[in-house]
Amino acid sequence: MGDFKNNQQQETSWLLGVLISIDQLGNAIAGGNPRSTISARTGYNVRNSACQNRDFWKFLASIINYAFYPIDGPDHCDKAYRYDIDGNYREGNDVMRMVLSVFVVVSCVFIAVCTRLYTLFVPSAHYKNKRGVVVQRDVRQFVVSDCEDVINYFQHTNRQYLEATDGSDMPVLAYDEWVRQLLEEEQKSYQTKSIYYLIWQLADSSVGHANLTNIEFRKQAYLHLHLWYPKQRNKGNGSWFIKQSILHFFDKFELETLYCEPSLFNIPANKILAQLGFELLSANRALVTRLEHGKAINQWRLHRSALNKLVH
């Protein structure tokens, strides 16, 4: 019931690792995604405004959060969902939810005892004593509560800066309409999504996002990259965020080709794309630009066959 298996560089206690394995097994038995956890599944269904039986999921969340509190702090289920980028959460039918509730109640009694005894004898494992051990960089799944941060970025960032980087994916809808669209997209399978977002985090703060548009499952998509705050730029974080995002996109959408079209004047982005193995579309590999929305851009392409350079 603690899903932290994505690309994080954090210290996870032996006990938490064992509990995660048990959690994934329980989630599969109860009709859930075997690659995800009960905590992430519960956190998703608590948050999802379109979800029925929300009181049931809130009840489960309270039990799970209490069990994991000593080693993971408050709101364990919500954090598990926000950091789980596997997605595809299944609510399950009445029978599966009954199986799930029995599994959670029984297992959480055992887990609550174990976590409290463990932190009693190993104080360093208590979440309050691990504040110096934080996730420095992370890529996680977008949730609806991130809408405000993304919209604020587009609304309050200097317009000239956006146009000089990549403003082609700026939201053109009203806030409420954009949130509604994202909620609809969240319910879709990877095969049918038309847009998709990942959030970039440093420690506990969201600092940027990567998103796909014009998605054609198992074929191609267009990549957009935004590091929100000036103080976080040109520090080497962008390359790591972009790499992890690209690997996730190719995996989840089974892409063959990924395109990215930064502004000609966005030197850091163009440099990173070249380093990551993107090909500048040109017969003679000379600088080629085209005019898009009144600005000159470079068109880059990454084929699945070049992913080995990112993995190693």
- pLDDT of res. 163: 66
Q: Is the pLDDT of residue 193 over 90?
A: yes
Q: What is the pLDDT of residues 31-49, one digit of tens each?
A: 877 778 888 888 888 876 4
Which strand (E) or helix (H) includes residue 299?
A: none
Which residue, chain included where needed, has tokens 């994202």? Answer: 182
Q: How far is CA 303 from CA 68, 242, 278, 279, 299, in A?
A: 42, 15, 8, 9, 13
Distance CA 290, CA 90 (A): 44
The C-alpha torsion from 258 through 211 and 42 to 184, rounded to 10°, is: -100
Distance CA 18, CA 192 (A): 35
According to CATH, what is the number of the domain 138-311?
3.40.630.30
For range 10-16, the mean pLDDT: 54
pLDDT of residue 214: 94
144-164 confidence digits (pLDDT tens): 778 888 888 887 777 767 766
Give residue 264's pLDDT band: very low, low, confident or very high (50, 70, 90).
Answer: confident
Contact 28, 89 (CB under 8 A): no
Query: What's the predicted TM-score (pTM) here?
Result: 0.62
Burial (0-12, 13-18, 19+ Cβ within 10 Å), 144: middle
Q: What is the DSSP letter of 278?
A: P
Single out the residue of 79, 225, 206 nearest to residue 152, CA to CA. 206
Give CATH 3.40.630.30 domain extents, the chain.
Answer: 138-311
Tell me the CA distances in angstroms from 69 to 2, 40, 74, 128, one per residue in order: 11, 15, 6, 10
Count the neighbouring beta carbons within 10 Å of the beta carbon of residue 106: 11
DSSP 76-119: HHHHHHHH----------HHHHHHHHHHHHHHHHHHHHHHHHHH
Helix (H) or strand (E) holding 198: strand 196-202
d(CA 6, CA 138): 8
Tens digits of residue pLDDT in 214-257: 999 999 999 999 988 877 777 778 888 999 999 999 989 999 99
Helix-helix angle 14-29:38-47, to 10 degrees: 70
pLDDT band of 171, cuts 50, 70, 90: low
Give the model's pLDDT for residue 135. 47
| Residues 288-302, mean pLDDT to the nearest whole number | 68
| 285 pLDDT more than 60 | no
